């Protein structure tokens, strides 16, 4: 646990008692704060009461009397589409609002660091797609090369739930826009921006607000090194803003699909990763046979992880060897099994059209299981990438409307995962890929993309026994 510094004897309120909220309350108490908590869920409040926390209804008048700070869980909207009433009440009471990420950056460094030979590092990864894979891959490479490391944030453990830093340790954080948008302190040593595509637009009042939330990771404190995906205009803009000329090594540009030549850059083309510094290639990796990193979208993740690890002093050969042993993450281009010449791939994390499009480009002869709760913008962006789809099998409560938008694709309206997997398995021929890449959120039928992916796995196992 990271005890939160700066609030000894002060009253701090925590709103939201999910994983991060509970960890935040415990870390505040460990740091000497007087903690009061609230959640709309009665069971969540009961659990907090069992842990000895004072339950205070923060929706009531006067709830913020004597409170120094309100700490908000990331899933709670603070501004758009409308401010949460508790947060608005904190504003009216003059109480500062923060989240666990801000408290972490404020509290991670301690006087004990003065005795370390090598100060700990923080690597923070954000972007629309690939954050989890990039963060996990960085962590895997570091551990495989004997570097002490922890993985936290939007993946793994909550940021305040990790262990205090050791000499030379590297903490890798995956940070979502919900987390970067509100944090009052953001000071990583290395910051990564993978890419940008429309997502969470209601939460950020459009694409500009969404990008602004990501950009805060680079603007609030200024990392020592920024690794920026430049395959979208926003990334090009950000790299330009952060660097002083093409040869400023504080910025490493990365790309999947096009050759780069400015300063220090890492790019992947036709399955080969190249590192270029001052116009000379200084490293390369053949990514095509790395099973845990299929497709161009994963090659971008590989470029980002490679750039981070090179910034931390690792050599190309050590990075390559670790990449080859990387197992991949569940629900992200996860090969479940091969049966009768047919591969079954779980990419349940493809919850928007951009991530689904990337999955569709990674395979051929696809039996595509798709559908769910559509996000703003419809399916227009996925249409140009349907050339590899032999047939679509549509699930979800709005399966008929979803299928109607798949112009020119043979689509079966299945409704349930079991029906979709059964029909896809029946239709599939040797060499085909049955791919779950929904291009939609899961919440019409499941409480998370993980549950949806687990259901796919179970259905595949039942059909291929």
Residues in binding site for ATP: 127-133
Cα(23)–Cα(17) distance, integer angstroms: 9
C-alpha to C-alpha distance for 148 and 274, rounded to whole angstroms: 26
Place of tokens 């980002």: 304
Please enumerate in sequence order all residues whose Cβ is within 8 A of that of 58, keeping only pairs 6 or more positions apart, or say none: 13, 15, 36, 38, 64, 70, 86, 89
Q: What are phi and psi of 71, to 5 degrees?
A: -110, 125
Alpha-carbon distance 308 to 225, whole Å? Answer: 9
Alpha helices, DSSP H, located in 259-386: 295-311, 316-324, 353-361
Helix axes 42-50, 19-30, angle to 10 degrees: 30
The angle that helices 233-242 and 207-219 make with each other, rounded to 10 degrees, is 30
Hey, which residues does 254 pair with through a beta bridge?
229, 266
Listed residue (192, 267, 261, 181) closest to 224, CA to CA: 192
Half-sphere exposure (CA, 13 Å, Cβ side) for 445?
27
Question: From CA 172, how far away is CA 153, in angstroms rounded?
Answer: 8
Tell how strand 121-126 and strand 170-174 pair up: parallel
Do 172 and 135 meet the contact criterion of CB atoms below 8 Å apart? Answer: yes
Q: Can you state the percent helix, strand and coil of the chain, rounding each to 5?
A: 35, 25, 40
Task: List Cα–Cα distances, 326 to 267, 284, 346, in angstroms.
Answer: 19, 17, 17
H or E, element range at 391 = strand 389-395
The number of beta carbons lying within 10 Å of the beta carbon of residue 172 is 30
In the numeric block, the tokens 């670790």 are attached to 322
The answer to whether the CB of 433 falls within 8 A of the CB of 367 is yes
Q: Quote the CA–CA distance of 434 and 334 in Å, as a whole number.
A: 12
Binding site: residue ranges?
127-133
Q: Nearest 10 degrees: CA dihedral of 14, 17, 21, 23?
A: 120
Look up residue 200 and give its two tokens.
């969470």
Angstrom distance (rounded) from CA 210 to CA 196: 9
Distance separating alpha carbons of residues 104 and 187, to the nearest angstrom = 10
């Amino acid at each position: 646990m990271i005890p939160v510094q700066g609030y000894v004897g002060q009253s701090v309120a925590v709103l939201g008692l999910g994983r991060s909220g509970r960890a935040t309350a415990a870390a505040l108490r460990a740091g000497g704060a007087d903690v009061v908590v609230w959640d709309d869920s009665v069971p969540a409040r009961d659990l907090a009461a069992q842990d000895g926390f004072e339950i205070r209804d923060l929706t009531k008048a006067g709830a913020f009397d004597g409170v120094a700070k309100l700490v908000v869980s990331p899933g709670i909207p603070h501004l758009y589409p409308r401010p949460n009433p508790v947060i608005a009440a904190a504003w009216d009471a003059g109480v500062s609002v923060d989240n666990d990420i801000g408290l972490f950056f404020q509290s991670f460094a301690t006087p004990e660091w003065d005795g370390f030979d090598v100060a700990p590092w923080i690597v923070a990864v954000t972007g629309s797609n690939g954050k989890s894979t990039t963060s996990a891959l960085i962590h895997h490479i570091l551990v495989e090369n004997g570097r002490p490391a922890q993985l936290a944030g939007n993946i793994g453990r909550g940021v305040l739930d990790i262990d205090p830093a050791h000499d030379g340790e590297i903490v890798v954080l995956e940070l979502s826009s919900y987390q970067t948008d509100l944090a009052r302190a953001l000071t990583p040593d290395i910051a990564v921006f993978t890419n940008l595509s429309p997502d969470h637009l209601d939460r950020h009042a459009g694409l500009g607000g969404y990008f602004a939330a990501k950009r805060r990771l680079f603007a609030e404190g200024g990392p020592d090194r920024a690794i920026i995906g430049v395959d979208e205009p926003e990334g090009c803009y950000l790299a330009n803003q952060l660097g002083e000329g093409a040869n400023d090594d504080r910025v490493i540009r990365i790309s999947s699909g096009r050759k780069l030549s400015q300063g220090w850059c890492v790019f992947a083309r036709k399955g080969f990763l190249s590192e270029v510094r001052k116009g000379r290639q200084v490293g390369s990796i053949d990514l095509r046979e790395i099973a845990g990193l299929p497709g161009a979208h994963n090659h971008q993740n590989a470029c980002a992880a490679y750039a981070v690890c090179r910034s931390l002093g690792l050599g190309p050969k050590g990075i390559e060897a670790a990449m080859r042993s990387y197992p991949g993450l569940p629900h992200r281009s996860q090969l479940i099994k091969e049966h009768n010449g047919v591969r079954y791939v779980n990419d349940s994390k493809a919850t928007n059209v951009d991530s689904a499009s990337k999955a569709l480009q990674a395979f051929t002869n696809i039996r595509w299981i798709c559908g769910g709760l559509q996000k703003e913008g419809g399916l227009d962006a996925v249409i140009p990438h349907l050339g590899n789809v032999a047939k679509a099998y549509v699930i979800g409560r709005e399966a008929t409307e979803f299928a109607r938008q798949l112009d020119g694709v043979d689509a079966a309206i299945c409704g349930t995962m079991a029906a979709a997997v059964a029909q896809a398995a029946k239709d599939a021929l040797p060499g085909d890929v049955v791919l779950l890449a929904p291009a939609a959120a899961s919440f019409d039928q499941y409480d998370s993309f993980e549950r949806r992916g687990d259901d796919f796995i179970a259905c595949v196992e039942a059909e291929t026994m």
